[in-house]
Structure 1
Amino acid sequence: MGHEGLYSIYIHTSPEFIDEPPTTSVFYKRKIPSKPVHWGTASMVDAERRLLANALLDCANQRFVLLSEACIPLFNFTTVYNYLIKSRQSFIGSFDDPRVTGRGRYNKRMWPTVSLANWRKGSQWFEVNRNLAVEILSDEKYYPIFRNHCIPPCYVDEHYVPTLVNIMSPEVNSNRSITWVDWSKGGPHPKQYVRKDVSMALLNQVRKGFNCTYNGHTTSMCFLFARKFHPSTLEPLLRLAPALLDSMN
């Protein structure tokens, strides 16, 4: 642990999950009031908005990162903290996908509030600054349209925030996610890494194997987190953690 006062954690669990971690855990008493969440439905974005609402109550919180239990950090806390705090933009994947899994999900009933020209797709794993978090939470114009008309095979969590930001504040968005996900196999779900997949080579490939823009400059540090890691990966990840996280590079 450490770095207390520089971060806050908010957890959205199933309502029936009542267990508490040990008092020494960073997750102790960090659960927020929650409701059931079902994959592929608007309840997923409801949970995201619920998390933002609770996090915004603390005026000290300036950057907001959505993560899941299947996400892992790729760098140590100081590196991640500085990367986010010093960034002039937020990190939301938002792109125009001409395929059936992109534009093909657009529902004409969304017009004229949401047009096909504004329609965007992206990863649900976002990072936003405080102003953008307030915009997302304050939105009463666009979210009802998505909730009523973005129905599977349209998935609200892949379209609502990317489209909203594209309409309202495109200039503050980097148009990329800082959470790496492997979609190379196709299908509705990304690759899930299991114990045998974990290696320093894999992690370093994600840490240094890409190029992107950060504050106007090209960098190979594009992803701060990665997913989707099965619980069986915990032991090998912990074994690699000292070498991985003690390095600033």
Structure 2
Amino acid sequence: MKNEHPISVTKLIIYTIMPLQRPITGFFLFFAGIAIGITLRSHLKDFSFTYSLDPQLSLPNPLPLTSLWSPTQETTTDSGNMGTVKINNFMGQDHKEDDDQDLINRVLKMDPPVIRGSTPAGKVAFLFLTKGSLPMAPLWEKFFEKHKGNFSVYVHTNPLYNWTLPKDSVFYGSIIPSKLVEWGKFNMIEAEKRLLANALLEPTNQRFVLLSESCIPLFNFQTIYSYLMGSAQNFVEAFNQPGPSGIGRYKRSFKPLVFPAQWLKGSQWFTINRDLATTIVSDSEYFPRFRNICGSATCHADEHYLPTFVNLRFAHKNSNRSLTWVDWSGGGMHPRSFFRTHVTVEFLKGLRNVRSCEYDEEKRAVCFLFARKFLPNSLVRLMKFAPKMMRF
């Protein structure tokens, strides 16, 4: 792509030699000007090309995601804004492994939450595991609107990412102390555990939903809240898969803790209750073994640790399915992505009625509450169709 305002090398030369009085100095700066001009032109071309690839440029009036609020600013939980959980001044500080253990110790020292009444009550914690920004934030803002007190939001992002949000945003103050996460690496499991631990510090959080930056809701908040709170099951996908992308990832060094027949695979996008969340965070048996083995080998622990662990410890309380729809029909290592042109009313309706499934031993038409992977340029149409169709 050409620069809209390329720097003229000729102008640089003219501006360089105009004030010169002495021939020798002018001769030297003449060639220096040529060198500077060529260098600047080359760098600006590279900058223009890189900048044009930013998917957020196509978004009309996105939330401001450009610079970070001051690391010394203290944000606290606002009792008048229960939907936002604010973390106190961590940005700009090194987040060490000891910090994770301290966080886990704080969770384990907590008193069990007291649930009053005949039915479970509390908040749903939405855990966003992102690479950087949240392109779908405007859609989620609309989804959360008017439901403060029934949800909490936590975001784990690249620790180098700068993010500024208005104070009235549900995402303001929701970023937790984060570390670098790499696709297919064990540090993704560590990030999930970090999100859960932060969310468990709030005793009213009773359900925990892991989402990515490309996830969208398929129903309004009331429907999703009732679906999650009304079920006694966890939603962690777990199944046996032969071949190199399943049992082929198993390592013999897992024995005798995990045998080949117990090695399961599933989507990392889970929905779990507080009991299971606490068990995952406090796991000191399977987690270290997976970290030691998969930290130096290609195990893809994000697809195997939780399915295997949950099946061994919570099989009777797990539905063995995920509530997040994704399209793997194209094959390969990554699911299909959806652009602006894919988003239609018919397409969204289809996602809401993909198939029937069991919900607490009953057949239900609603199987998925969320869907992915939607690219940033699909936001315009999602904002146009989703609120009307989903009634939020």
C-alpha displacement of 1:148: 2.0
For residue 231 of structure 2, what is the amino acid of its counterpart?
S
Q: Is the 8 A contact 1:40 1:152 kept in 2?
A: no
Q: How does 1:223-238 map to 2 (within 5 A)?
A: 223-238=368-383
Q: Kindly indicate whether residue 188 of structure 2 is the aligned counterpart of residue 36 of structure 1.
A: no
Deviates more, 1:131-140 or 1:12-21: 12-21
Larger gyration radius, structure 1 or structure 2: 2
1:245 partner amino acid: M
Kindly report the root-mean-square deviation, in angstroms, between the aligned alpha carbons of the 2 structures: 1.1
1:192 corresponding residue in structure 2: 337
Pairing partner for 2:301 from 145, 156, 174: 156
Q: Write the distance in 2 (CA, Å) between the matches of 1:153 and 1:54.
A: 28
Give 1:105's aligned residue. Answer: 249
Of the candidates 190, 208, 218, which is equivalent to residue 363 of structure 2? 218
**Correspondence 1:88 to 2:232:** yes
Distance in structure 2 (CA, Å) of the matches to 1:112 and 1:20: 48
- 3-state SS of 1:67 partner: strand
- The amino acid of 2:223's aligned partner reads T
- After superposition, the C-alpha distances for 1:132-151 in whole angstroms (9 at most, x for unaligned) are 00111110101111112235
* Shift in Å, 1:243: 2.4
Amino acid at match of 1:71: C
In structure 2, stretches of 5+ residues that fail to align are 1-144
Task: Measure the CA separation in 2 of the matches of 1:236 and 1:170.
Answer: 40
Q: Is the 8 A contact 1:62 1:129 kept in 2?
A: yes
Does structure 2 conserve the Cα–Cα contact (< 8 Å) formed by 1:125 and 1:179?
Answer: yes
Greater shift in the superposed pair: 146-155 or 27-36: 146-155
Partner of residue 326, structure 2? 181
After superposition, where does 1:129-140 map in structure 2 within 5 Å? Answer: 129-140=273-284
SS at match of 1:66: strand
Q: Is 1:116 the equivalent of 2:260? A: yes
Question: In structure 1, what residue type is equivalent to 2:252?
Answer: K
Deviation at 1:20, TM superposition (A): 2.3
- The runs of at least 4 consecutive aligned structure 1 residues that moved more than 4 Å come to none
User: Bigger shift: 204-213 or 228-237?
Assistant: 204-213
**Match of residue 160, structure 2, among 2, 12, 16:** 16
Aligned counterparts of 2:146 and 2:227: Cα–Cα separation in 1? 18
Deviations 1:180-235 (A, max 9, x none): 01000111100000111111111111111211000111111000000000000000
**Mapped pair 1:144 → 2:270:** no
SS at match of 1:232: helix
Q: Which secondary structure does the structure 1 equivalent of 2:155 belong to? A: coil
Answer yes or no: is the 8 Å Cα contact 1:74–1:244 preserved in 2.
Answer: no
SS in 2 for 1:9: strand
What CA distance in whole angstroms lies between the structure 2 residues aligned with 1:161 and 1:18?
Answer: 31
Deviation of residue 242 (structure 1)?
Answer: 2.5
Using the alignment, how far apart are the partners of 1:123 and 1:226 within structure 2?
A: 12
Equivalent residue letter for 2:343: V
1:88 shift after superposition: 1.1
Aligned to 1:65: 209
1:201 maps to: 346
Identity, in percent, stands at: 51
Shift in Å, 1:16: 1.1
Give the AA of the match of 2:168: T
1:42-100 CA-to-partner distances (Å, cap 9, x unmatched) read 11011000000000001100000000110000000000000000001010000111222
User: Which moves more between the two structures, 141-150 or 30-39?
Assistant: 141-150
Rounded to whole Å, the distance in 2 between the matches of 1:189 and 1:147 is 23
Give the letter aligned to residue 18 of structure 1. Answer: N
Amino acid at match of 2:336: K
Q: TM-score, normalised by structure 1?
A: 0.97
What is the aligned partner in structure 2 of residue 48 from structure 1? Answer: 192
Give the residue type in structure 2 aligned to 1:8. Answer: S
Post-superposition offset of 1:152: 5.3
Structure 1 position 3 matched with structure 2 position 144: no
Flag the structure with more relative contact order, 1 or 2, with Cα contacts below 8 A and sequence separation at least 6.
Answer: 1
Give the AA of the match of 1:229: F
Q: Distance in 2 between matches of 1:20 and 1:26?
A: 12
Counterpart residue type for residue 309 of structure 2 = L
Q: Secondary structure at the match of 1:213?
A: strand
